[in-house]
Homo-oligomer: A and B are copies of this chain.
Amino acid sequence: MNIENSIISEIFKDIAFSKKEENLIENKLKKLNLKKGVTILKADDKVISQYYVYNGCLRTYFIDKSGKEHTLQFAINDWWISDYTAFFTTTKAVMYIETIEEATIYKISKKSMEDLFIEIPQLETFFRKKMEKAFASFQKRILASLAQSAKERYVSFISTYPNIEQSVKNYHIASYLGITTETLSRIRKEISLN
């Protein structure tokens, strides 16, 4: 097994591929090494790809009409990221995606995915399950925004994503939680006093 193929089995952990299948996938994935602060998708772009994060950290965010940024998603090692709403419906992006840290990612186009699904049906199942998890996490987030205080959401965030907390600034976390950096700072102080 060469280096490229080992990345395939790392990405699609629970699937056993034949040599031929691995090569098929390998040809569809494009590796990108990105510096910190690089924007790989902008609002109004056509969204034809999704990205696997090998290492580093990225985020998707939305800029509202007053110019404020709102973080929808972070992605670190072994996460997939895109503007999925646009990706699925073949509409223009509403989100931005940028690297928060230097990152290595693998890009795959929608067309490539469709081709692969025909050859390797297990891949369709793989992505469907990813999708279902993303859906569940969105639902959890909506319920949290309805039922929890800012402090509760912060505590829940850092315990659910301890690895993300290390890679992102507090103002990123604040924009994910829907609060200001000042409020987050006060919440952190309050917690540290307990």
Please, what's the 1-or-0 string for A110-149, where 1 marks a CB less than 8 Å from any CB in chain B?
0000000000000000001001111110111111011110
Chain B residue nearest to A70 (CB atoms) is: B146
Copies of this chain present: 2
- Whether, in the assembled complex, A72 has its beta carbon less than 8 Å from a beta carbon of chain B, the answer is yes
The answer to whether B139 and A89 have CB atoms under 8 Å apart is: no
Within 8 Å by CB of A62, from B128, B133, B143, lies: B143
The answer to whether A140 and B85 have CB atoms under 8 Å apart is: yes
How many angstroms between the C-alpha atoms of A133 and B89 in the bound complex?
8
- Return A115 CB to nearest CB of chain B, in Å: 16
A89 partner residues in chain B, CB cutoff 8 A: 132-133, 136
Chain B residue nearest to A83 (CB atoms) is: B139
Known contacts A64-B147, A145-B145, A147-B64, A139 near B84 by CB under 8 Å: yes
5 extra interface residue pairs, beta carbon distance < 8 Å, beyond A62-B147, A70-B147, A94-B143:
A70-B146, A72-B142, A72-B146, A85-B135, A88-B132
Residues of A within 8 A of B (CB): 62, 64, 68, 70, 72, 84-85, 88-89, 94, 128, 131-136, 138-143, 145-148, 175, 178
